[in-house]
C-alpha cells in the first residue's frame, strides 16, 4: 500500500525540517523526520490505528506524534 502527500503537507514537512535543523541540529532533525515517515508508513498499513474523533466534523483519525 502507498500514500501521497499533498503539496501543502510537503511544504509543512520541509518547514518543520528546516526549523528542526536551526533549533536542534541536523542529526536531531533527521531522526525526527525518519520517525515521522515511519509513523506515516505505519498508518498506511493500519489506517484504523487511531481512534475516530467523531466530535470533529467531518470525523477524522488523529495519531499523536512528538513535538520538536
- The answer to the question of residue 2 being in a domain is no
Residue 53, CB-side half-sphere exposure with 13 Å CA sphere: 9
pLDDT (0 to 100) of residue 68? 52
What pTM does this model have?
0.82
pLDDT in tens, 23-60: 999 999 999 999 999 999 999 999 999 999 999 999 99
Radius of gyration of the chain (CA): 14
Domain-located, residue 44: yes
Query: Does any domain span residue 39?
Result: yes
- The model's confidence at residue 2, banded by pLDDT at 50, 70 and 90, is confident
Name the residue with cell 487511531: 50
Q: Is residue 29 part of a domain?
A: yes
Amino acid at each position: 500500500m502507498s500514500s501521497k502527500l499533498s503539496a501543502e503537507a510537503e511544504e509543512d514537512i520541509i518547514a518543520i525540517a528546516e526549523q528542526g535543523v536551526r533549533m536542534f541540529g541536523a542529526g536531531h532533525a533527521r531522526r525526527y523526520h525518519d520517525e515521522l515517515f515511519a509513523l506515516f508508513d505505519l498508518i498506511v498499513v493500519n489506517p484504523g490505528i487511531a481512534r475516530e474523533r467523531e466530535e470533529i466534523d467531518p470525523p477524522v483519525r488523529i495519531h499523536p506524534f512528538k513535538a520538536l
